[in-house]
Amino acid sequence: MIIKNKKGGDKVLSLYWIIILILIAGGVFGMVYTFYKHPYDVREIENGILINKFSDCISYGGKINQNLLSGDNFNQTFEDFVSEECNLDFGSGEEYYVEANFYSENNLNLEVYSLSYGNSGLVASCNIQEDKEYGLESKCSDGEFFSLSESGNLYLVKVNSIIKKTEQNSK
């Protein structure tokens, strides 16, 4: 014969309550651990700063840098001294990549000049950025603006920036 009394009911209730508390504590611990185990990913902000800095270097006040474009001729050697001209120091050069592509207003699909600096091997990682497995590999951003040459011709400039720094920004 099963004897039921109030004391037994209380004990079952406390055990039930302890299990609930353990579950809540476990859940909170799990959430906190998951939240803090990932580093802060600042590459998007960094990309924005890099794009602004590079854009200011190749075009300022709406006019393309005269060291890059004199008349309507692009200076092919500008790429060799981008770091000095734009005050960029990519260190070992493996973590960053930035490029600017110029299009004439007459044909916005035809690239008339391209300028790049950094590790061009990172370009491929942008194509797989959407893939969840490789999405954290590197961050890619882009921007575009119009700028005038000295002779008054209008150019569309598309700037792309890629930052790797995977270890420090994603795990």
Partner 1 sequence: MIPKIKNSKKRGTILMENVVFIILNLLFIMILVIFISKQGQGAILLEESYAKQIALLIDSAKPEMTIILNMENAKELSGKNEVSFSEVVRVDKENNLVIVKLSSDGGYSYGFFNDVDVSVYPDTKGLQNSGDADSYVIKINSYNDN
Tell me which residue of 102, 136, 100, 135 sits closest to 118, measured CA to CA.
100
Q: Which residues bind partner 1 (CB under 8 A)?
A: 21, 24-25, 28-29, 32, 36, 39-40, 42, 45-46, 49-50, 52-53, 83-84, 87-91, 95-96, 165, 168
As measured in angstroms, the least distance from the Cβ of 1 to partner 1 is: 26
As measured in angstroms, the least distance from the Cβ of 112 to partner 1 is: 27
Nearer CB in complex with partner 1: 133/167: 167
- Longest CA–CA span in the chain (Å) reads 105
Nearer CB in complex with partner 1: 23/128: 23
Contact 82, 131 (CB under 8 A): no
Q: Which 3 state secondary structure label does DSSP give 71?
A: coil
Can you tell me the distance from the alpha carbon of 102 to that of 88, in angstroms, rounded to the nearest whole number? 20
Nearer CB in complex with partner 1: 90/145: 90
Contact 41, 169 (CB under 8 A): yes
As measured in angstroms, the least distance from the Cβ of 125 to partner 1 is: 18
> Which residues partner with 141 through β-bridges?
161
As measured in angstroms, the least distance from the Cβ of 104 to partner 1 is: 30
